[in-house]
Structures are given as C-alpha cells and as structure tokens.
C-alpha cells in the first residue's frame, strides 16, 4: 500500500537471541528482505555465517532495558561483539537513550564497526537538540562514525501526530550528515501506550519534513542500499 519494495526486519527484544522467526521471514523473500539479529558471545562463527547467507547485515543491542545508565555503556561487551561481526561487514545497531551518555562521541571514537542509532538517538524531545548526548551523536554522524534511523518519533515526544516537537531533531541529523540517515516505519509499533501511529501518516510525515526529492531518495533508497548491502536500486521510485 505504501509502495515499499524492500524491507529490513529487526529482531525484537522480546525474542532475545532466538532469531528463528526473523530468519524464516528473510527466507520467504531473500531478494527483498535484510535482517538485523541479536546474538551473544556464545554465537559460533558458523551461526553468523548462516545468518549472513540468510541476509543478516547487522546486530542489535538494547541497553535501554538492561543497563543502569549511571554505570555507563557496556563498551567492553559491545566492542567484543563488534569484533565478532567485523569480518562480515555488519554494523551494530544500538538502542540507547543518548541523552544519558554525554561522552558518547568520545566513547565510540574508535569503534570497530559502523554504529546505527535507532529513533533519532532515542532522546526525548524534552531534552532538546542541545543535549550533550545528542550533540555527541551529531558529532559521530559528521565524522561518518554512525548512522541514524529516522524512526519512532511518536516514542520520544509527548504529543500525538504530527509530533511537532521532533521536527528539530529531524533537521539536525540532516544538517549533520544526510548520507548516514535511513527511514523506517517502526512497524508493528510495539509497546505504544499513546495514540497508535498509522504507517501512511508516518510516511507522509517524512515527505513534509524532507521536501527535497533527491534528499528523500537518499534516505529512502540510496543510503539503506549501502548500509544493508542491497544491489543498487533500478526502479522508478
């Protein structure tokens, strides 16, 4: 309905490291789907190779629900996982509230693989774009050390659609590095305790926030093709 030809399937936290449902979905249409898995230190090289052949191109680490921010990011664990996936050319997707980590840019200045931050860095709009953690994310963006997923604006602001408080975050990540941005619907919108978003509205919102056609093409097509290792798109979209 939305005209989406390719999709990236991200392992949800509730399934832990059991990637079977996601891998089965990848197998249903390997030319159009890519995946982001969740692994642990016990995952074997052969398991990673099987995932790679299936279309997995990154791993996801959720530190929001399991980490005390006062203890800092589990950088040793994250680095160890990054080194495991580095030979495959994968990235590490991090779900973290960047406002809780004011030294974000310094922490990840020499990280072994590309970092991808979900939900604009998952910093609530009330902290503003001048927050030190969000500014650190922008620095990583500018230095080609990170990517940002322009997803879930409804998760990080108090208002309902069209999530006006999030417009400034949209503009700042574009200004920092438009070549390192990808869009996502965040479907199926799990754990939403406010007005449920409609995917068509979210798609239209991107159109209103990113009015330049070439920039929108980069965010929707060119950038994700690079990040998720898709062949160059040859359609007319």
The predicted-structure confidence for 158-203, as pLDDT tens digits, reads as follows 999 999 999 999 999 999 999 999 999 999 999 899 999 999 999 9
Q: For residue 182, what are the β-bridge partners?
A: 149
Residue scoring higher pLDDT (2 or 177)? 177
- Pair 176, 141: CB distance under 8 Å: yes
How many CB atoms neighbour CB 148 within 10 A? 27
pLDDT at 72: 82
Instruction: Determine which one of 45, 158, 171, 186 is catalytic.
Output: 186
Sign of CA dihedral 231, 234, 235, 236: positive
Q: Could you read off the pLDDT of 85-106 as tens digits, one per residue?
A: 999 999 999 999 999 999 999 9
pLDDT at 234: 62
Q: What H or E segment, with its residue span, contains residue 203?
A: helix 199-209
18 flagged as catalytic: no
Helices (H) then strands (E): counts for the chain: 9, 7
Least confident of 62-76, 144-158, 221-235: 62-76
pLDDT at 237: 42
- Pair 40, 23: CB distance under 8 Å: no
pLDDT at 173: 98
- CATH architecture of the domain with residue range 7-227: Alpha-Beta Barrel (3.20)
In order of 30, 44, 97, the CA distances from 187 in angstroms are: 20, 30, 20
Confidence of residue 228 (pLDDT cuts 50, 70, 90): very high
């Amino acid at each position: 309905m939305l005209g989406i030809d390719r999709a990236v399937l991200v392992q949800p936290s509730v399934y832990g490291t059991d990637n079977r449902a996601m891998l089965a979905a990848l197998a249903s249409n390997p030319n159009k789907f890519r995946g982001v898995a969740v692994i642990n230190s016990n995952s074997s090289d052969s398991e990673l190779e099987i995932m790679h052949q299936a279309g997995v191109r990154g791993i996801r680490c959720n530190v929001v629900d399991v980490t005390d921010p006062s203890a800092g990011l589990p950088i040793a664990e994250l680095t160890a996982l990054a080194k495991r996936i580095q030979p495959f050319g994968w990235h590490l997707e991090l779900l973290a509230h960047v406002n809780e980590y004011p030294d974000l840019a310094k922490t990840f200045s020499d990280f072994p693989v590309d970092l991808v931050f979900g939900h604009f860095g998952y910093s609530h709009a009330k902290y503003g774009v001048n927050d030190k953690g969000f500014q650190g994310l922008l620095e990583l963006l500018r230095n080609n050390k990170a990517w940002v997923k322009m997803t879930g604006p409804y998760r990080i602001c108090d208002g309902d659609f069209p999530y006006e408080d999030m417009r400034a975050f949209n503009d700042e990540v574009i200004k920092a590095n438009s070549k390192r941005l990808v869009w996502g619907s965040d479907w199926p919108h799990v754990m939403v305790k406010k007005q449920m978003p409609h995917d068509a509205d979210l798609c239209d919102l991107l159109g209103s926030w990113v009015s330049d056609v070439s920039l929108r093409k980069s965010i929707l097509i060119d950038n994700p093709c690079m990040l998720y290792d898709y062949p160059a798109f040859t359609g007319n979209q």
